Chain A
Amino acid sequence: MTKLLLQFLRSLRQSFQDLLPIILVISFFQIVVLQQPVPQFGQILVGGVMVLLGLSLFVQGLQLALFPLGEEMAYNFVRKGNLWLLLLFAFTLGFGTTVAEPALIAIAGEASIIAAEGGVIENVEAARESYATGLRLVVALAVGIALLVGVIRILKGWPVQYLIIGGYIGVVIMTAFAPKEIIGIAYDSGGVTTSTVTVPLVAALGIGLAGSIRGRDPLIDGFGLIAFASLTPMIFVMAYGMFF
């Protein structure tokens, strides 16, 4: 029990160090540059303590649950030796975690308003809603396919750069043809798909896979899934903007 408590205190101290730069930057600009008092100091203090506790709990829980779970499942899939099931899992994980992502729901709603104002779709509730839902499904599909391709890449041992650079060339070409209003949203949707819970799971899955297949190096082959997951939505969203 004391050991656990000690560990938690250590992780609290670590989290405090992680948050220190924010505190310094905010106070420097507030006091030296803007020369204004900090409003609602009590509320900020309470919030700060919550952030500190939350970050420590999250990092501890990560090591206890998300990392071992992701790696164990990767190992089990390799032992079972069924490629199709593994691919199904990769796709479901990508699709399922993205379609419910709150940041994506927010962006899709905004995008539908932009499209309606730009005259791309009719400016009525039903049309906007179906546009937003379509966008969400497209992004989720993109992330599912990204994980699928990423897993195949780990199994085959392809170097990551050819696929990624090829993808970016695709993004550049699409940018030239896509409607102007969708480009900003497309670029942003790449970033928002990879949430705080998904990232550790996907990283552990990749590393677990690379670690349980002979001849694969976890560092070279295990990473790269997140890069795929933030690349494909850009292409898919621009395509969505071009065809709808």
Chain B
Amino acid sequence: MEGLLHFGQTALGMIRDVLPIAAILIGFQLFILRRPIHNPMRVGVGLIMVLLGLALFLEGLELALFPLGRLMANQLTAPSFLFGPGADAVAAFEWSDYLWVYLFAGAIGFATTVAEPALIAVSIKANQVSGGTITVNGLRFAVAVGVALGVSLGAFRIVTGTPLHWYIITGYVVVIFQTAIAPRAIIPLAYDSGGVTTSTVTVPLVAALGLGLAETIPGRSALLDGFGLIAFASLFPMITVMAYAQISEWRTRRARAQQR
């Protein structure tokens, strides 16, 4: 009963979030474009499905994934796990003491990105628009690998305490270099995929990991170091998506050369 009430609250919250969007769309369509909405029944049913789906999705995440993910992030960064039972504070440590943390960061970054609804939406569109040359799963895989690399490198940065901006600036230089040589058609999509990855599923878990790390390692501040992980997660997908296009172009060229 309590769960049902909570779900009702989530659904209400969802409606409140979507109301301004719906008002803008309907307002412009009816009063400025002065056109009736095409197939209003279908659009109405679809909108309700989107709303209900998102409410269920978020509520389910809150029940199943987030508490467990946060708990695991805390356990993995706890001194008693890293340095054996009895250790309750981090004293001297090497970056290599945190290997499981990097691995977890990468794995959870990859897995949550694959399930990210906004990325699924963009992949479906990219697949339609490219006439099938960009596959839905290929793009999602490329983005997920990027997030995985980004988040585990971000965890490494928090552990070592190296400055955030050197990593980010180096990343941008790589992006600029790749932009010059990657196939032209992939570039806008690659830039977009940086923005869509950091959404409903990935952010809460990645943020929990970053805060867990920053709180247990001496000399790190949760405010200054905990935040940077998201920036990593939106930078690296650009690099991997362009790399994905470069690799598939290279493979088609090689296949063609072999045929001759």
Residues in A lying within 8 Å of B, measured CB to CB: 18-19, 21-22, 24-26, 28-30, 33-34, 36, 38-40, 43-69, 72-73, 76-77, 80, 85, 89, 92-93, 96-97, 99-103, 114, 159-161, 164-165, 168, 172, 175, 180-181, 183-185, 187-188, 190-192, 194-201, 203-204, 207, 217-227, 229-230
Contacts and interface: CB of A to CB of B under 8 A. Distances in A.
Given A65-B46, A160-B191, A191 B230 contact: yes
B146 interface: no
Contacts of B38: 68, 72
Interface stretch (B22-30, B83-91, B248-256): B22-30
B92 interface: no
A151 B129 CA distance: 18
25 contacts: A21-B110, A21-B111, A30-B72, A34-B72, A34-B76, A59-B53, A59-B117, A64-B43, A65-B45, A103-B203, A160-B187, A161-B179, A168-B175, A181-B223, A184-B228, A191-B198, A191-B203, A194-B118, A194-B199, A196-B118, A199-B122, A203-B122, A220-B185, A224-B188, A227-B188
B18 A165 contact: no
Contacts of A69: 25, 37, 43
A40 B44 CA distance: 37
Given A196-B118, A222-B188, 17 more contacts: A29-B107, A47-B59, A54-B56, A63-B124, A65-B43, A65-B50, A68-B39, A73-B28, A92-B28, A96-B20, A99-B20, A190-B195, A191-B233, A194-B199, A199-B121, A221-B188, A227-B191
A4 to B, nearest CB: 11
A225 to B, nearest CB: 7
A172 B64 contact: no
A222 B129 contact: yes
A57 B107 contact: no
B64 A51 contact: yes
B111 A25 contact: yes
B48 interface: yes
B60 A26 contact: no
B243 interface: no
A205 to B, nearest CB: 10
A57 B56 contact: yes
Contacts of B199: 191, 194-196, 199
Interface of B: 13, 16-21, 23-25, 28-29, 32-33, 35, 37-39, 42-65, 67-69, 71-72, 75-76, 81, 100, 104, 107-108, 110-112, 114-115, 117-118, 120-122, 124-126, 129-130, 164-165, 168-169, 172, 175-176, 179, 184-185, 187-189, 191-192, 194-196, 198-200, 203, 223-224, 226-228, 230-231, 233-234
Interface of B is mostly: helix
Contacts of B76: 29, 33-34
Going nearest first, the 3 A-B pairs with the smallest beta carbon separation are A65-B46, A47-B64, A64-B46
B121 A62 contact: yes
A62 B44 CA distance: 11
Given A61-B46, A161-B187, A224 B28 contact: no
A105 B164 CA distance: 25
